[in-house]
Amino acid sequence: MKFSFFGVVCAAAISIASGQSVFNPARPPAIPLAVKSPYMNTYQFAGSEGGNGGYLAGEWQSFWSGQTTAWTGMIRVDGTNYLWMGAPANGPATATQTAFQYTSTKSIFAFSVDGKVEMNVTFLSPLTPDDQRRQSLVFSYLDVVVQSLDGASHDVQLYTDVSAGNATEWVAGDHGSVAQWDYGTTSDGIAYHKIYRQTQLLFSETNQQADWGYWYWSTKSGSDLTYQSGQDVTVRGAFMSNGTLPNTKDTDFRPINDAFPVFGYSTDLGSIVDSVSTLFTLGLTQEEAIQFDGETGIVPLASLWTSYFSNELDAVSFFYNDFSTATSTANTFDNKVSRDSVAAGGQDYLTITSLSARQAFGALQLAGNLTKQYLFLKEISSDGNIQTVDVIFPFHPILLYTEPSLMKLLLDPLFENQESGQYPNMYSMHDLGASYPNATGHPDGKDEAQPLEECGNMLIMTLAYAQRSNDNAYLSAHYDILKQWTGYLIAEALIPADQISTDDFAGSLANQTNLALKGIIGIEAMAVIANITGNTADAANYTNIAHSYINQWQVLGVAQDANPPHTTLGYGLNDTHGLLYNLYGDAELNLGLVPEKIYDMQSAFYATVNDEFGVPLDTRHNYTKSDWEMFTAAIASSSTRQMFISDLAKFIAQTPTSSPLTDLYSAQTADWPGEGAGQFTARPVVGGHFALLALPNAAWTK
Ligand SMILES: *[C@@H]1O[C@H](CO)[C@@H](O)[C@H](O)[C@H]1NC(C)=O
Ligand SMILES: *[C@@H]1O[C@H](CO)[C@@H](O)[C@H](O)[C@H]1NC(C)=O
Ligand SMILES: *[C@@H]1O[C@H](CO)[C@@H](O)[C@H](O)[C@H]1NC(C)=O
Ligand SMILES: *[C@@H]1O[C@H](CO)[C@@H](O)[C@H](O)[C@H]1NC(C)=O
Ligand SMILES: *[C@@H]1O[C@H](CO)[C@@H](O)[C@H](O)[C@H]1NC(C)=O
Ligand SMILES: *[C@@H]1O[C@H](CO)[C@@H](O)[C@H](O)[C@H]1NC(C)=O
Ligand SMILES: *[C@@H]1O[C@H](CO)[C@@H](O)[C@H](O)[C@H]1NC(C)=O
Ligand SMILES: *[C@@H]1O[C@H](CO)[C@@H](O)[C@H](O)[C@H]1NC(C)=O
Ligand SMILES: *[C@@H]1O[C@H](CO)[C@@H](O)[C@H](O)[C@H]1NC(C)=O
Ligand SMILES: *[C@@H]1O[C@H](CO)[C@@H](O)[C@H](O)[C@H]1NC(C)=O
């Protein structure tokens, strides 16, 4: 991870919606709406610093970085219009939001429309880690269920639109670029608005949004459906005046910020009493996903969905028609996370994990073909690096818990690039490219150097994958480079040179106690790898070294005379401390390298330095990191574990920040970290919140 200040531009909250909504299990800083990939990443900002408190109406939706991705919903009941989503100028009165609930895959809003009808609006971004065909689709559902609230029948029309508005909104980050669009119906009756940047710029981004690919905004075609594309006031005005749209296309393709075009649907539900469901889908199709410098040099890699579907419209129709399967699969996933989280850490822990799942998976892209698949990860917000090893490391518990085989797809690009001689350093690379989606490596070796951190991470994650998947062949296949990295750790881990760790924003330091521990655990991981692969002489050598180092480390890194004793931030700095989150690797791999007394000592200590919203990352600052807190909690005594968990759940409910869950925040105020640390948002490292669920031998693991 590389620190860089990222100014989050918050959409102005237009008004605080009236009415009191119940929020369950919490009102998060930002509500996931369509979160499925680095480029489909739209939230409702909710926190007090720029959000409107968690209401779907009264504020535009935002891409993670703050650009508006406008999405509008209106309903007409007995001739009167109401707004339930978005913030159009001159929109009608707002329906009353009565409840909001989130699960791992869904955000569900309930409304009372003037006491006449009830609406349940569900945003479902499916997570199917064990089903690559479905996971490869960058698509999300919006399901609107309406029924009478007062028992009387009501005449109802439903309106929705997406916009290619000011910031090219959904379709591109460059406000001045020209959008183009089309309307059609698939052979099996799915209506679609297709919207895209007229000049496609492959693999290019503006303001973090993709400059290539095609957006599909779809619903069921039929006699009750009317549509229109055109200027916002025209299209929304047509619906508001009589509940239908004229079935016309605006063909004046123009810059997104010029009389900005919207793509509307009106569905006439007719006279209703009982519940009626109307389903919409939004998808992004990009045939090509990634540029990758693998063993044959730089090649473009296809998005994996292209291996399963012969064209975009097949994908559109499959996804639309798959809703009932998607719903039951999502329910199964939600229930699994719910059951396991509550068992591991109670309701507060579920508040944390269920908010984190879509955000974590939302940084991923499946690529390749049916013979060879890859999984790529964007280091969102801290910078745009691809396949950052020390971002994959905090992220990886969610994969160990949900589908360990995906770890291989994530590690493979790193191995392939380095084993084919494209990286000159003896230690592991930090990332596979400065700018997602270009995984073009660092042939000059000048990536951000975190040598100890990344060598330890690669060894730990490779063994963790092999243990969970019983894939010993993977260890043999990569033995040589793993051994090379172990050599680096043997030379450098015990007495770490002055360097940064993954927490680079906190500054560099020599002799970092926590960093040394990661390196020593990496050496012992290699001893196990050597044993498994029949390299018994190496195994004996490495385990001797690791045990010798861990004994020395306990003298160098522990402030024995402190009250209570604890590990230090750096050797000999007896009045410093920090989260010893790298101890997690010892438990994750079942190494038994580090004595129990170290675990017990740290558990007892953390409770003495806890702040309002967590234990500070280290003594240099008052901020903390949510991912490392959960790594630490996972291996703590039960009372200390619950302390960490309840503090983080409280942070989620009380933080004034309004963008997608930051992992770096003030432990005193729950606000941005301050102290020059910059701001993080929407990062995949929240996958680390699943640390409790990724430990071996736990009742809830597979
Ligand atoms: C909306 O959700 C609530 C709470 O889950 C439920 O009681 C109600 O029946 C739902 N209404 C519709 C129209 O689905
Ligand atoms: C788009 O720009 C216009 C004019 O600058 C502004 O009035 C409008 O609110 C903007 N819409 C959105 C969705 O940001
Ligand atoms: C990726 O590389 C291409 C050239 O191959 C370039 O046009 C594009 O801007 C790069 N993308 C990013 C996000 O830097
Ligand atoms: C709504 O407006 C359209 C276009 O002006 C018109 O054709 C249609 O008859 C109107 N419908 C109603 C119900 O007034
Ligand atoms: C599948 O992908 C691999 C790796 O990129 C490539 O070598 C191979 O040619 C591809 N196979 C097909 C059938 O395209
Ligand atoms: C143990 O490993 C170290 C570092 O690779 C090496 O220098 C040493 O020769 C090895 N010792 C034995 C006995 O293999
Ligand atoms: C690091 O720790 C070692 C062992 O205590 C010590 O010899 C060395 O001087 C320390 N390095 C720095 C830069 O403090
Ligand atoms: C290697 O395997 C042997 C025999 O099973 C075992 O005694 C030893 O503890 C193992 N060493 C490591 C480092 O796993
Ligand atoms: C730090 O504490 C250790 C043991 O608790 C002690 O040996 C060492 O002298 C102390 N260092 C300093 C600088 O006080
Ligand atoms: C932490 O906050 C306190 C005030 O609450 C302040 O006195 C102290 O200097 C801060 N510590 C650091 C390391 O910034």
What does the pLDDT look like over 97-136, one tens digit per residue? 999 999 999 999 999 999 999 999 999 999 999 999 999 9
- Ligand nearest to the CA of residue 237, numbered in listed order: 4
Lowest-confidence pick of 67-81, 173-187, 415-429, 594-608: 173-187
**Looking at ligand 3, which atom is closest to the CA of residue 205?**
13
C-alpha–C-alpha distance, residues 196 and 179, integer Å: 6
pLDDT, tens digit, 9 for 90 and up, residues 451-474? 999 999 999 999 999 999 999 999
- Ligand nearest to the CA of residue 62, numbered in listed order: 2
The predicted pLDDT at position 178 comes to: 83
Mean pLDDT to the nearest integer, 384-400: 98
pLDDT > 90? residue 569: yes
pLDDT > 50? residue 17: no
Task: Give the CA diameter of the chain.
Answer: 82
Percent of the chain with pLDDT over 90: 90
The predicted pLDDT at position 257 comes to: 60
Mean pLDDT to the nearest integer, 36-54: 97
CB 242 less than 6 A from any atom of ligand 4: yes
Ligand 2 centroid, distance to 379 Cα (angstroms):
30
- Sheet (strand 106-113) strand order: 22-24, 96-102, 106-113, 117-124, 139-148, 276-285, 214-220, 190-197, 179-185
The predicted pLDDT at position 702 comes to: 35
- Ligand nearest to the CA of residue 560, numbered in listed order: 9
Tell me how many helices (H) and strands (E) the chain has: 17, 29
CB 226 less than 6 A from any atom of ligand 4: no
Mean pLDDT to the nearest integer, 289-296: 97
Ligand 4 centroid, distance to 570 Cα (angstroms):
74
**Main-chain dihedrals φ then ψ at residue 518, nearest 5 degrees:** -60, -45
pLDDT > 60? residue 8: no
C-alpha–C-alpha distance, residues 63 and 85, integer Å: 16
The predicted pLDDT at position 678 comes to: 84
**Looking at ligand 6, which atom is closest to the CA of residue 538?**
14
CB 68 less than 6 A from any atom of ligand 2: yes
Mean pLDDT to the nearest integer, 75-101: 97
Ligand 4 centroid, distance to 239 Cα (angstroms):
9
Mean pLDDT to the nearest integer, 140-150: 98
**Helical pair 626-634 and 638-654, crossing angle rounded to 10 deg:** 160
For ligand 9, atom 8, the nearest C-alpha belongs to 572
CB 383 less than 6 A from any atom of ligand 3: no
pLDDT, tens digit, 9 for 90 and up, residues 194-210? 999 999 999 999 999 99
The predicted pLDDT at position 13 comes to: 34
The predicted pLDDT at position 252 comes to: 79
Residue 187 CB burial class (10 angstroms; 0-12, 13-18, ≥19): exposed
**Looking at ligand 3, which atom is closest to the CA of residue 437?**
13
C-alpha–C-alpha distance, residues 37 and 360, integer Å: 9
Output 452 or 698, whichever has higher pLDDT. 452
- pLDDT range class, residue 674, cuts 50, 70, 90: confident
C-alpha–C-alpha distance, residues 563 and 577, integer Å: 12
- pLDDT range class, residue 699, cuts 50, 70, 90: very low
- pLDDT range class, residue 46, cuts 50, 70, 90: very high
Mean pLDDT to the nearest integer, 576-598: 98
Lowest-confidence pick of 181-190, 256-265, 333-342, 419-428: 256-265
The predicted pLDDT at position 299 comes to: 97
Site to probe by mutation for ligand 4, drawn from 239, 242, 245, 248 as the one with most ligand atoms within 8 Å of Cβ, is 242
For ligand 7, atom 12, the nearest C-alpha belongs to 510
- Ligand nearest to the CA of residue 525, numbered in listed order: 8
Site to probe by mutation for ligand 7, drawn from 558, 571, 573, 576 as the one with most ligand atoms within 8 Å of Cβ, is 571
Ligand 3 centroid, distance to 440 Cα (angstroms):
10
pLDDT > 60? residue 246: yes
CB 247 less than 6 A from any atom of ligand 4: no
pLDDT > 50? residue 162: yes
Mean pLDDT to the nearest integer, 199-228: 96
pLDDT > 70? residue 701: no
Residues with a CB atom less than 6 Å from ligand 7: 495, 510-511, 556, 571
C-alpha–C-alpha distance, residues 6 and 631, integer Å: 25
pLDDT, tens digit, 9 for 90 and up, residues 403-440? 999 999 999 999 999 999 999 999 999 999 999 999 99
Q: Which long-range contacts (CB under 8 A, 24 or more apart) does 527-533 make?
A: 528/463, 528/589, 528/591, 529/459, 529/462, 529/463, 529/466, 529/475, 529/479, 529/482, 530/479, 532/466, 532/472, 532/475, 533/472, 533/475, 533/476, 533/479
Mean pLDDT to the nearest integer, 514-537: 98
pTM: 0.95
Do the beta carbons of residue 366 and residue 132 sit within 8 Å? Answer: yes
Ligand 10 centroid, distance to 676 Cα (angstroms):
13
Mean pLDDT to the nearest integer, 629-644: 97
Ligand 3 centroid, distance to 289 Cα (angstroms):
12
Ligand 3 centroid, distance to 439 Cα (angstroms):
10
Residues with a CB atom less than 6 Å from ligand 8: 527-528, 531, 539, 543
CB 581 less than 6 A from any atom of ligand 3: no
The predicted pLDDT at position 44 comes to: 98
- Ligand nearest to the CA of residue 201, numbered in listed order: 3
The predicted pLDDT at position 19 comes to: 58
- pLDDT range class, residue 5, cuts 50, 70, 90: very low
The predicted pLDDT at position 179 comes to: 84
pLDDT > 90? residue 4: no
pLDDT, tens digit, 9 for 90 and up, residues 26-35? 999 999 999 9
Residue 296 CB burial class (10 angstroms; 0-12, 13-18, ≥19): exposed
Q: What integer best gives the mean pLDDT of the chain?
A: 94
Cis peptide before 443 (omega within 30 of 0): no
What is the domain partition of the chain in residue ranges? Answer: 468-596
Cα angle: 640, vertex 679, 361; to 5 degrees: 70
Do the beta carbons of residue 671 and residue 612 sit within 8 Å? Answer: no
Residues with a CB atom less than 6 Å from ligand 5: 368-369, 371-372
Q: In the numeric block, which tokens belong to residue 52?
A: 């409107």
**Looking at ligand 7, which atom is closest to the CA of residue 572?**
5
**Main-chain dihedrals φ then ψ at residue 629, nearest 5 degrees:** -60, -40
For ligand 10, atom 12, the nearest C-alpha belongs to 621
pLDDT > 80? residue 6: no
C-alpha–C-alpha distance, residues 62 and 8, integer Å: 11
Which residue type does 430 have? H
**Looking at ligand 10, which atom is closest to the CA of residue 619?**
13
Q: In the numeric block, which tokens belong to residue 613?
A: 């919203």
Which residue type does 340 have? D
C-alpha–C-alpha distance, residues 25 and 308, integer Å: 37
The predicted pLDDT at position 174 comes to: 72
The predicted pLDDT at position 494 comes to: 98
